[in-house]
Amino acid sequence: MCGFAGFVNLDGAPPDPRVLAAMMRTIRHRGPDDSGQLLLADAAIGFHRLKILDLSEHGHQPMVSPSGTIAIAFNGEIYNAFDYKPELEAAGYRFRSRTDTEVLLYLYERYGIDGVLERLNGMFAMAIADVRSHEVHLARDHFGIKPLYFTQAGSTVLFASETKAFLAHPGFTPEIDDTHVDEQLAFRYVSGEASLLRGVRQVRPGHRVRITPQGVTTARYWSIPDATEKSRITREDAVEQLNVLLRTSVASQLRSDVKVGCQLSGGIDSSLVTAFARPHFEGGMDTFSVVFEDQKFSEGPWIAEAAAVTNADSHRFMFTEAAFMGPLERATWHMDQPISHPNALGIWLLAQHAGERVTVLLSGEGADEVFAGYSRFSGAHLRPVEALIRATQLQPDSKLARLRPGADLTPAIARRAEIFNEGGSDILSNFLKYEMQTYLADLLVRQDKMTMAHGVENRVPFLDRRVVEFARMLPAEYLVDGRTTKTVVKELGRRTFDAAFVYRSKCGFALPLSQYFRSRIFTEMMEDRLLPGIRARGLVSEAAVRELWRRSLSAPALTEVFWLPIALELWAQQFVDRQAPQASA
């Protein structure tokens, strides 16, 4: 787990090492253990390393091939990398390290970019510079677990693990792309490759980018599989296959030369991951959780039960008003985009404390999107595509129009429909594929940015390629059976936990926002900076925001709707106005 940034001068101009150094300083937090820079004739790559495998200097990056013609900057973990080591050694490659990075370097040299990508099972963002062909390749993992961005400033192509690195390049001018503001305020994130910063593009999950002197091209190298004919496996056998696949995934993701723990929310997904990880620890195993004083928001009893059943050492951190307001601006800086889901601050708190004990965390992300864990998946086959797309829309068009007169979601819905229509199976399968490429991709960015802010790597066993490919073959009734969602996962859970634990109503991760919005600190920030900034920026109506604030104090259902323009303004002040994050009170 690490971070990298770099640029390619398409006009052939030599790279300025001072610019690269400035870009690298912005993402130092992603790799506090080591750093390196590589300057080529017309390109530069910088790297910060968080040591996970092979803690020696042999894992230093950017890593260069013995011939000196290929260099790689790699962020992530490849769980099947060492399966290829005997083959490569037989072909004459000699390894200097015990890293998956070196395996990738030689796989690329032997098979090329498509050949290496088709062999990988893991999470990754990478940049490979090939001096022989005078090109740079960027690639992001199958599900978007690791972030990767690129943009063009004049004749220079910039790329980085986090967009804040672009702010350090003198050719980049940050501007809000107001064509995406409506989508941001309605859905809480921008879908596809677009972003709120004009010209900045995300490398979509399962995609790669090729940079040559002639320009930039993008291509898909992998698609979430469509199973037009579902498996005829029995439900009992399906549960057993999931049992084997998930246990194998958890075991593979425990590979580390540093301490590993589990992020335990108390839900069935993270609890299963914890249960399957526990036998691999001879001594104690640490789990980390966030709880609240107000029991309406806290999963404390379920966390305690999961920790007791799995015999895990449970570390629980109380989320308070100070935990929300204190790091809010620093977390916005680390997030790279508006913190539209306030519970990101809960992940921040968890990672901050977990990082004192472990460097790697396993979590249950992805299970809901892969195995149909949300109530919106029930009865999906009865609803038109646009209704399914709008299922995660936070506020209706009419209310959005009050906040932003003239708002028009037509382009956003059309772009999301294109993503939805990439599915080639039944409506539920297509809906799940859409969710994995939109909602899940955003959730994973949130998880990555908040954990990496504290130098903690997050791993997600439910997003092992083999687990996902298995789920895509399952009949609909094994995913959603009447009112029961995530059916096979819950049946697997019953092998370890009791029925009350497994089949309780889904809680989510809500915060007592109304309480925080009444606080003196928040009120002063609103009156002194945010409302004046909103008025001057003109993206949303200051009067509508003020009215939403007033109403949200007594109507908790409105708190997250009110929060969206606030998060947008906080982000804009830092990333567009270039205001440094203010210290916490």
Cβ 502 vs Cβ 486: under 8 Å: no
Please report which helix (H) or strand (E) contains residue 64, including its range. strand 63-64
Each residue of 447-468: pLDDT tens digit? 999 999 999 999 999 999 999 9
pLDDT at 217 > cutoff 60: yes
Average pLDDT of the segment spanning 57-80: 96
- Residue 73 host element (H or E): strand 70-78
The secondary structure of 504-564 as a DSSP string is SPP------HHHHHTSHHHHHHIIIIIHHHHHHH-SS-HHHHHHHHHHHTT-GGGHHHHHH
Question: Strand, helix or coil at 74?
Answer: strand
User: Does residue 493 sit in the same domain as residue 531?
Assistant: no
What number of other Cβ atoms are within 10 A of residue 278's Cβ?
Answer: 18
pLDDT at 297 over 90: no
Give the pLDDT confidence of 544-555 residue by residue, as tens digits. 999 999 999 999
Place of tokens 């017309």: 42
Do residue 256 and residue 324 come from a single domain?
A: yes
Same domain for 205 and 291, yes or no, is no
- Average pLDDT score over residue span 341-351: 96
Amino acid occupying residue 468: V
Q: For residue 381, what pLDDT band results from cuts at 50, 70 and 90?
A: confident
Q: Dump pLDDT digits (tens) for 234-266.
A: 999 999 999 999 999 999 999 999 999 999 999
Query: Averaged over 486-506, what is the pLDDT?
Result: 95
Structure letter (DSSP) for residue 172: -
- The reply to whether 143 and 15 lie within a common domain is yes
Q: Is residue 453 in a domain?
A: yes
248 and 196 in one domain?
no
Is 434 inside any structural domain? no
- Give me the number of domains the chain comprises: 3
Distance CA 115, CA 580 (A): 43
Query: Given this model, what pLDDT does residue 199 score?
Result: 98
- Residue 491: give its domain's CATH number: 3.40.50.620
Q: Please, which pLDDT band fits residue 521 given cuts at 50, 70 and 90? A: very high
Q: What is the pLDDT of residue 296?
A: 74
Residue 34 has pLDDT above 90, yes or no: yes
Q: Are residues 76 and 186 in the same domain?
A: yes
- Exposure string of 328-358, with b = 16+ CB inside 10 Å and e = fewer, is bbbbbbbbbbbbbbbbbbbbbbbbbbbbeeb
pLDDT above 70 (res 212):
yes
Domain endpoint, select from 185, 220, 255: 220
Domain co-membership, 121 together with 176: yes
Answer for the pair 373, 489: CB distance below 8 angstroms, yes or no: yes
- The three-point CA angle 342-509-352 to 5° equals 65
- Element at 111 (helix H, strand E): helix 100-117
**Same structural domain, 239 and 185:** no
Residue 6's nearest CA partner among 46, 55, 52 is 46
Asked if the model's pLDDT at residue 294 lies above 90, the reply is no
Whole-angstrom distance, CA of residue 485 vs CA of residue 481:
6
The bridge status of strand 313-318 relative to strand 286-291 is parallel
CATH number of the domain enclosing 119 = 3.60.20.10
Regarding whether 170 and 104 lie in a shared domain, the answer is yes
Comparing CA positions, the residue from 98, 216, 115, 206 lying closest to residue 159 is: 216
How far apart CA 523 and CA 367 sit, in angstroms, is 38
Please tell me the predicted confidence (pLDDT) of residue 69: 96
Q: What's the CA gap between 302 and 292, in Å, rounded?
A: 13
Alpha-carbon gap, residue 203 to 579, rounded angstroms: 27
**Residue at 412 is within a domain:** no
Of 479, 502, 525, the last residue of a domain is 502
Q: How far is 373 from 484, CA to CA, in rounded Å?
A: 9
State how far the Cα of 569 lies from the Cα of 490, in Å rounded to an integer: 40
What is the C-alpha to C-alpha distance for residues 362 and 459, in angstroms, rounded to an integer? 5
pLDDT at 585: 40
> What are 465's two structure tokens?
């390629």
344, 275: one domain:
yes
Nearest to 164 by CA among 56, 276, 26: 26
Mean pLDDT of the chain, nearest integer:
95
Contact 122, 81 (CB under 8 A): yes
Q: Does residue 584 register a pLDDT over 70?
A: no
144 has a pLDDT exceeding 70: yes
Distance CA 523, CA 435 (A): 36
75 is a domain residue:
yes
Residue 173 domain flag: yes
- Please indicate, yes or no, whether residues 491 and 517 belong to a single structural domain of this protein: no
For 201, the 3-state DSSP assignment is strand
Q: Does residue 348 carry a pLDDT above 50?
A: yes
Q: What is the pLDDT of residue 508?
A: 64
Q: Which of 101-110, 223-232, 251-260, 448-457 has the lowest mean pLDDT?
A: 223-232
Evaluate whether residue 402 is within a structural domain: no
pLDDT level of residue 355 (50, 70, 90 thresholds): very high
Domain check: are 481 and 551 in the same one? no
Residue 509: its pLDDT value, please? Answer: 66
For residue 482, is it within any domain? yes
Q: Please answer whether residues 511 and 550 qualify as being in contact, where contact means their C-beta atoms are separated by less than 8 angstroms.
A: no
* Region 418-440 average pLDDT: 97
Structural domain span for residue 556: 513-575
Establish if 7 belongs to a structural domain: yes
